[in-house]
Structure 1
């Protein structure tokens, strides 16, 4: 998965390949598709009142932003191994925590950057309050993190396993 340290993003080979494939698609076929949409919408006439044209231009802007993000991410990437299953919380791990030590009130989440956000599991970045609070802790240890209202919340690390998604 990923871990950011001094503008270097650590990626597994699988993650690097996935992001590189996305970049290649967005830089090639997707650019051609959006250019065709813009050209077709432009031919419809008056651009000031052409919703299809404006929607296509907005889509193009979002796509180009993603291309720049991926380019920067991959330029600063260092490819390495997936985290070890040693019970320590690290980016790329699925973490199970219990709130306030109550093992009936638990949360499973992936500790990773937003590039790994998935509908299958909630994702918290290592820089988020919860992520930074649990990062580096071991199974069985307690961790604290600051809530938006400034109060501290306590959690207990129940499980930390490498993400298999």
Structure 2
């Protein structure tokens, strides 16, 4: 049974575009590579042909995987989410209790996670520790370096 994943509108569109690109452009390129390798002669000793066929198999597996993810993807309606608690798609401003450093993260699905833009996966240790908490609460989160306490400063969408 495939796992249901929740996406922002932007993330879902990106997933659909990537799948379409894989099905059209990349699939066509691999077919051309196979045809070119086939034209070079004996297939039993043709390394280019073998490599192109292997690339095709891996590519088709990737398309199948992405199709399954898309079939189980759900769009979150942000207007119906509780703003008083940290949930998926929440933008959370937190403060490290010990160091006083503040940071802001948006909790998104695994495929949308991007630390450069402040988006962390809801399955990450920090996000798991923040989920369900309200403003003012302290979240004690176990990370590889040990336990860190974060105070929830602000929750927004």
The match for 1:100 is: 97
The match for 1:3 is: none
Give how far 1:154 is off: 0.8
1:4-19 equivalences under 5 Å are 7-19=3-15
Q: What is the SS of the residue equivalent to 2:65? A: helix
**8 Å Cα contact 1:13/1:79 also seen in 2:** yes
Does the C-alpha gap of structure 1 residues 53 and 129 become closer, same or farther in structure 2, counting only changes over 3 Å?
same
| 2:39 is equivalent to residue 25 of structure 1 | no
Give how far 1:142 is off: 1.0
The match for 1:147 is: 143
Deviates more, 1:125-134 or 1:94-103: 94-103
| 2:117 is equivalent to residue 160 of structure 1 | no
Q: What is the SS of the residue equivalent to 1:28? A: helix
Instruction: Provide the C-alpha distance between the structure 2 equivalents of 1:59 and 1:95, rounded to a whole number of angstroms.
Output: 41
Instruction: Provide the C-alpha distance between the structure 1 equivalents of 2:68 and 2:131, rounded to a whole number of angstroms.
Output: 24
**8 Å Cα contact 1:145/1:153 also seen in 2:** yes
Q: Could you tell me the TM-score, scaled by structure 2's length?
A: 0.73
Q: What is the SS of the residue equivalent to 2:94? A: strand
| 2:120 is equivalent to residue 124 of structure 1 | yes
Q: Pick the aligned partner of 1:37 from 33, 36, 40.
A: 33
Q: What is the SS of the residue equivalent to 1:158? A: strand
Structure 2: segments with no counterpart, 5+ residues = none
Instruction: Provide the C-alpha distance between the structure 2 equivalents of 1:142 and 1:113, rounded to a whole number of angstroms.
Output: 23
Q: How many residues align?
A: 152
| Bigger CA radius of gyration | 2
Instruction: Provide the C-alpha distance between the structure 1 equivalents of 2:37 and 2:22, rounded to a whole number of angstroms.
Output: 20
Does the C-alpha gap of structure 1 residues 125 and 65 become closer, same or farther in structure 2, counting only changes over 3 Å?
farther
Higher helix share: 2
Aligned residues: CA RMSD:
3.1
Give how far 1:131 is off: 1.1
Instruction: Provide the C-alpha distance between the structure 1 equivalents of 2:95 and 2:115, rounded to a whole number of angstroms.
Output: 22
